[in-house]
Every structure is written in structure tokens, then in C-alpha cells.
């Protein structure tokens, strides 16, 4: 009989991507298991890329809380709960570990509710809303924490192999025509102190010209578009991409020879697509939430600031990925 499991993992992009290997584990261990997934609307494309996901249920807590009591938002919330309760589940796994996910979503789903215990959850009160609570050590990488949560919830032994996101093959038939002939530079991130300087990016772009590879620059906001244009100015081997959907960005990443990124959600997407990637870290520590998977490389500032990372050092590491 097919096991029906609901996943509650709503955000952020990196956290959603970090959940994917646990689904692959469950399928390998249990065979006949299918998942539905509650996720923030901005990331709703991601779960659909995994072969074991049947239904994606978008939620919009980030948008709703701006006008929570308006009639339109109340109607959206009611419609969401109706969608949530269409299916009775054998297991409901809250992989978010937050009060908002546990109270607003998990407790309203139909099924036995599993989650992290008060020692393990980011917000211990969230554990009050679970029927079954599991201990998972906090000093593990985020991917391994979720893999352990799923294994304990669904009662199977966890393999020691590196987790498999299992989404790269989704894009095999959607690769750009020039796949393998370009690099992708992910220069945009949410915090100013995680940005690499524009001068350093342009120095790296200049160094890359000798490889014969193109450089593609995706962007999301108007500010990111303007930065992309400044970085590309004067370089014939740089393409500033048009505004793309998340799936379209994933297709571009899937076709890249290699990626250089700052600490951003799209860096985790590159990892999930098994692309060779160098992520630049200044003030953040990649040990628990850094790139996970094969060919994931970190260049960490000893001074904990992005300005100290040199383009020559990045290019040296990049060259080994390109020619390795």
C-alpha cells in the first residue's frame, strides 16, 4: 500500500532545496511512498522537480501577514486549508520547526504529526503541536538534519551515502543549446555584507576571458539587473540574462560548466543540480548551511569580510574546476 506523506517546509529557497535528499532516501528505503508538500508560493516550482512529489500546496504566509485580516486574505487562507485537508495522510512531517509552520499549517493537516523535539527545533514551542517528536543533533549540516528527521519519522535506517537531491535529471531535456560553454556568476544576495565587490567581480570576469567561456549573469530585482549591467559593461563574453522564472534559472544553471556564487539561495540550487560551484563566504559560516553535494567548494575569508577575497584566488580555484 502506498504511504502518503505531507511535508511542511515552506521557506527559504535553500531550506526547501535541503529537504529534497530526504525524499530520495525515503523512496530508496520504503519503495512505495508519495509526497505532497506545503511550500511558500515563491518556491512552489522546486518540489515539483522531484519524482516522488504528487501535489504541491502553495502557502503565502509571507504575503498574508502584511494584511492578515483583510477579507481577500481570509478567503485565501480558507481555500488553503481546504486544499490541505483534501487528503488524509499516514504521516505529516514538519521539517520547518517554527511556531508559524506548526500552528498555522501542521496542526491543521489530517494525519499523525511528526517534528523535531524541543531540544532540536529552532523554536522549541513548535514541538507542542506534534504528536511524535524526534531528537536530531543541531551540529549537523541542514541536509543531514532533515534526512535524520525523515528516517526517524518514517522508521527506516539512514544510508551513510551523500544525500541525492534527484532533480538534476529533470533538466536534462531542458538544457540551453550552448550548455557546457559558459559559466554562471551569482552575484546577488540579500545582505550587503555578503556581497563581493563589483571591482572584484569585474576582475574575475576579465580573467575568465582567456578560457574562451562565456559568463551568464541572472538577476531577480531591478537593483540586481542594474548591477549585472555594470558588471558586464565593456566585456563581449558576458551575457546579462533577461528576467527568468526560477525553473528557467535552474535550466541555465544545469547547463553551466561551473558556477561562482556568493552566499545565496541560488548557490544551493547549483548544488542541487550537481554543478561544480565555488561559494564565497565572508561573515557567514558554511559548516551547517553551506553548499552540500559533490563538487561544492567554499572560499572563506579569514578576515570574515568579502573584500579580502581576491579575484586571482577565485580564478585559480575556478580553473581547476573547469579543467579538472
DSSP character string of 166-188:
--GGGGGGG--TTTTSEEEEE--
Reported pTM:
0.96
> What is the pLDDT, as a whole number, of residue 38?
98
Shared domain for 155 and 284, answered yes or no, is no
Shared domain for 157 and 214, answered yes or no, is no
Shared domain for 192 and 280, answered yes or no, is yes
> What is the pLDDT, as a whole number, of residue 44?
97
Over the stretch 205-256, which tens digit does the pLDDT of each residue have? 999 999 999 999 999 999 999 999 999 999 999 999 999 999 999 999 999 9
Q: Where are the beta strands (DSSP E) in 153-294?
A: 182-186, 214-217, 238-240, 258-262, 277-281
Secondary structure class of 53 (helix, strand, coil) = strand
**Which residues contact residue 254 at a Cβ distance below 8 angstroms, ignoring those fewer than 6 apart?**
168, 171, 172, 174, 175, 179, 273, 275
The answer to whether 224 touches 188, Cβ cutoff 8 Å, is yes
Last residue of a domain, one of 151, 166, 181: 166
Domain of 215 in residue numbering reads as 171-323
Shared domain for 139 and 191, answered yes or no, is no
Last residue of a domain, one of 131, 146, 166: 166
Bridge partners of residue 216, in order along the sequence: 184, 239
Q: What CATH number corresponds to the domain at position 140?
A: 3.40.50.2000
Nearest partner of 185 among 308, 278, 307, 269, judged by Cα: 278
> What is the pLDDT, as a whole number, of residue 174?
84
> What is the pLDDT, as a whole number, of residue 294?
87
Q: Whole-angstrom Cα distance, residue 309 to residue 311?
A: 7
The answer to whether 209 touches 237, Cβ cutoff 8 Å, is yes
Q: Which residues of the chain have pLDDT under 70?
A: 324
Nearest partner of 129 among 87, 100, 86, judged by Cα: 100
Instruction: State the total domains in the chain.
Output: 2
Amino acid at each position: 500500500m502506498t504511504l502518503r506523506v505531507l511535508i511542511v517546509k515552506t521557506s527559504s529557497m535553500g531550506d526547501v532545496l535541503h529537504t529534497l535528499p530526504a525524499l530520495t532516501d525515503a523512496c530508496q528505503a520504503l519503495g512505495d511512498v508519495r509526497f505532497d508538500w506545503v511550500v511558500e508560493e515563491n518556491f512552489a516550482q522546486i518540489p515539483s522537480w522531484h519524482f516522488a512529489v504528487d501535489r504541491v500546496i502553495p502557502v503565502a504566509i509571507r504575503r498574508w501577514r502584511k494584511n492578515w485580516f483583510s477579507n481577500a486574505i481570509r478567503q485565501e487562507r480558507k481555500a488553503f486549508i481546504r486544499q490541505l485537508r483534501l487528503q488524509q495522510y499516514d504521516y505529516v512531517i514538519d521539517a520547518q520547526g517554527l511556531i508559524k509552520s506548526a500552528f498555522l499549517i501542521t496542526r491543521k493537516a489530517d494525519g499523525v504529526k511528526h517534528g523535531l523535539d524541543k531540544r532540536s527545533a529552532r523554536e522549541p514551542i513548535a514541538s507542542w503541536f506534534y504528536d511524535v517528536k524526534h531528537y536530531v543533533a543541531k551540529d549537523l549540516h541542514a541536509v543531514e538534519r532533515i534526512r535524520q528527521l525523515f528516517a526517524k519519522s518514517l522508521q527506516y535506517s539512514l544510508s551513510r551515502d551523500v544525500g541525492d537531491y534527484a532533480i538534476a535529471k529533470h533538466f536534462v531535456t531542458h538544457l540551453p543549446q550552448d550548455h557546457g560553454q559558459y559559466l554562471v556568476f551569482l552575484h546577488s544576495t540579500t545582505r550587503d555584507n555578503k556581497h563581493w565587490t563589483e571591482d572584484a567581480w569585474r576582475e574575475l570576469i576579465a580573467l575568465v576571458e582567456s578560457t574562451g567561456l562565456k559568463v551568464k549573469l541572472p538577476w531577480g530585482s531591478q537593483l540586481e539587473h542594474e548591477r549585472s549591467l555594470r558588471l558586464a559593461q565593456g566585456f563581449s563574453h558576458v551575457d546579462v540574462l533577461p528576467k527568468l522564472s526560477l525553473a528557467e534559472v535552474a535550466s541555465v544553471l544545469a547547463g553551466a560548466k561551473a558556477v561562482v556564487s556568493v552566499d545565496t539561495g541560488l548557490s544551493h540550487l547549483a548544488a542541487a543540480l550537481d554543478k561544480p560551484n565555488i561559494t564565497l563566504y565572508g561573515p557567514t559560516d558554511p559548516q551547517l548551511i553551506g553548499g552540500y553535494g559533490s563538487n561544492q567548494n567554499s572560499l572563506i575569508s579569514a578576515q570574515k569580510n568579502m573584500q579580502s577575497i581576491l579575484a586571482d584566488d577565485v580564478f585559480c580555484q575556478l580553473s581547476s574546476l573547469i579543467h579538472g
